Amino acid sequence: MRLIFKNLNVLRSTINAISTSLEIKEIVESAGNNLPNLFDFSSFGVFWKEELLLFLCQEESCPPSFTQEVVNNMIKVFSILGEESVDADRIVLQIEKRKLRPKQMIMDPKAALKSYLTLPLAVEGEILGCISLHSDQPNAFDAQDLQFFSVIGYQMAATLRHFQRLSSVKNMAIYDTLTGLHNRRYFEERLEVEAQKCLYSNTPLSLVMVDIDFFKKVNDTFGHTEGDQVLCKISSLLKASVRKKDIVARYGGEEFILILPEARLEESFVIAERIRRLVENTLFEVGKTQVNLTLSLGISSFPSHRVKSKEGLIEMADQALYDAKRGGRNRVCIFTGKFTRGAAPT
Amino acid sequence: MPRVVKEEKRGKWSSDLVLDLYSNLLTEIWELVSALIGEAILAFLVASAVRKLGEKYPFLNSLTVSEDGISLDEMKENCRTVAPLEIHRGFQSLINHLSHLFSVLAEGVINKELFPKVFQKVKEAERIISPK
């Protein structure tokens, strides 16, 4: 009876730790800290389907062959539960080795997986992943282990679902719902950070402002639904044309803006010109016809343009875009240092 | 009702009686297994088993599964025209598939608990319902 009370206390503190975690790594860590007080196991695993993450917390003497068996077993069980095959090559594996056993009980280098318990992380009929306990001993787990483990699994699933909801709210706040690009609000926040970074470290930073030429004509001729399709297609071309560290955002209507961290003027011109040519050479399916579209692009860059604020950088890119439009469209213009409209940045 | 009595006299089982028999069996399975793995996980597994078998035995799709348990009420309304043997085979497949899932998850831990209490009854049901 005393043992059950002790286990219930451990279970309670495990659940508490899981429910107050702020990210999946924290959930796994808190479980990993508490589980050895509840079960005798060689390896504990959490698989999160959404991000294809597989966390393993293992006894430090766990041989690689055992780890591989554990991974294969978890993928196999999840595939049966989730009724979908999982591509093992795409799984991101994170392994943490810990001293789970006393020195005299270290694992045999040839230890094999002899028993396991796996439970789906299921909430409201949806499977989010699975959790597993593994052992190199046969029949290592009994009904009481399963009961305790299911309570932990239930709490973990509820916490992961909470994370998903938070992340979807976060996504709504930073992404443009039509194009899937970052929205203007995120762009402004991110530019603030990148501008601070470059001003303090004197590293380059460029902005490219992009506008679709004669987009109003597309909307007027083919309707807004087709116009939206064009915006989505151009968004995906923009995303495909930049580097991993670049930020592409929808600035408004048919205007987009690119933050190119650490890109000097020459490099940002190459990127902008690549985008311009790509769009020029793409045939867009609009309604039942195919049309050609072009872009005008304006570039501003720090330190080349001796700008002192992020607002100044935006204003210069906007001015360069204006020059591109005025110069005949379908071209990339770099801010020339002369403001032909509006006020110069301070 | 007269039809049921007539069939029983001839030694056959009516759909209602087969449904009652499996309703009791599923309730026993639910009580035993939910105590081990919790209602949420069990509801997920039962729903998954129904999905898997629903194409072969469409009447299983009217099984209501939630964290509160399994209900056959809707099924009883819909299954009057389904042959008792078909119902029996559908439920046998459902229980076998659940048993397979339990074994995939926890090797023998769940089935070891189920076997003495439930599987004997499943075998008994098989004996009395299946034609010789």
The ipTM value here is 0.83
By Cβ distance, the residue of A127, A147, A151 closest to B44 is A127
- Contact map slice: A 104-123 vs B, CB within 8 A: 115-120, 122-123
pLDDT band for position B12 (50/70/90)? low
The torsion angles phi and psi of A72, rounded to 5 degrees, stand at: -60, -40
By Cβ distance, the residue of B36, B38, B48 closest to A154 is B38
Q: Is the pLDDT of residue A3 over 80?
A: no
Question: What is residue A23's predicted lDDT score, i.e. its pLDDT?
Answer: 77
What's the gap in Å between the CA of B32 and the closest CA on chain A? Answer: 11
At a CB cut-off of 8 Å and minimum separation 6, what does A84 contact? none
Mean pLDDT for the stretch of residues A112-136 = 93
Rounded to whole angstroms, the Cα distance separating A235 from A179 reads 6
Structure tokens, A121: 């992380």
Which residues face A165 on adjacent strands? none
Whether A137 contacts chain B with CB within 8 A:
no
Chain B residues near residue A116 by CB distance under 8 angstroms: 107
Mean pLDDT for the stretch of residues A138-167 = 91
Whether B40 contacts chain A with CB within 8 A:
yes
Chain A residues near residue B105 by CB distance under 8 angstroms: 77, 81, 117-120
pLDDT band for position A346 (50/70/90)? very low
* Cβ <8 Å between B37 and A81: no
pLDDT band for position B129 (50/70/90)? confident
| DSSP secondary structure, B6-42, as one string | HHHHTT---HHHHHHHHHHHHHHHHHHHHHHH-HHHH
The secondary element (H helix, E strand) that includes residue B74 is: helix B73-78
Whether B39 contacts chain A with CB within 8 A:
no
What's the gap in Å between the CA of A119 and the closest CA on chain B? Answer: 6
By Cβ distance, the residue of B35, B43, B106 closest to A117 is B106
**Residue A184, helix vs strand vs coil:** helix
Rounded to whole angstroms, the Cα distance separating A242 from A247 reads 8
Go through the domains of chain A in sequence order and give each one's CATH number. Answer: 2-169 (3.30.450.40), 184-334 (3.30.70.270)
Which residue in A247, A269, A266 sits closest to A258, CA to CA?
A247
* Cβ <8 Å between A154 and B101: no
Rounded to whole angstroms, the Cα distance separating A174 from A164 reads 15
Whether B31 contacts chain A with CB within 8 A:
no
By Cβ distance, the residue of B38, B101, B112 closest to A150 is B38
Rounded to whole angstroms, the Cα distance separating A297 from A317 reads 8
Q: What is the pLDDT of residues A283-321, one digit of tens each?
A: 999 988 999 999 999 999 998 888 888 999 999 999 999
Q: To 10 degrees, what angle do helices B2-9 and B15-37 make?
A: 90
**Rg, chain B, Cα only:** 15
Chain A residues near residue B43 by CB distance under 8 angstroms: 122, 125
Whether B68 contacts chain A with CB within 8 A:
no
Rounded to whole angstroms, the Cα distance separating A188 from A156 reads 35
Please indicate, yes or no, whether the overall pTM of this predicted structure exceeds 0.90: no
- Least confident piece of the model among B56-60, B79-83, B93-97, B110-114: B79-83
Chain B residues near residue A39 by CB distance under 8 angstroms: none
Chain B residues near residue A154 by CB distance under 8 angstroms: 38, 40-41
- Contact map slice: A 286-325 vs B, CB within 8 A: none
Structure tokens, A198: 């470059």
Which residues face A302 on adjacent strands? A205
CA atoms within 13 A on the CB side of A277: 7
Chain A residues near residue B51 by CB distance under 8 angstroms: 83
* Cβ <8 Å between B40 and A157: yes
Question: What is residue A197's predicted lDDT score, i.e. its pLDDT?
Answer: 87
Chain B residues near residue A125 by CB distance under 8 angstroms: 43-44, 47
pLDDT band for position B131 (50/70/90)? low
Residue with tokens 């007269």: B2
Rounded to whole angstroms, the Cα distance separating A207 from A297 reads 10
Rounded to whole angstroms, the Cα distance separating B116 from B108 reads 13
Residue B12 backbone zone (phi > 0: left; psi -120 to 50: alpha; other: beta): beta
- The residue among B94 and B119 whose pLDDT is bigger is B94
Residue extents of the structural domains in chain B: 15-123
What's the gap in Å between the CA of B117 and the closest CA on chain A? Answer: 15
pLDDT band for position A240 (50/70/90)? very high
Mean pLDDT for the stretch of residues B11-24 = 81
| DSSP secondary structure, A218-258, as one string | HHHHH-HHHHHHHHHHHHHHHHHHS-TT-EEEEEETTEEEE
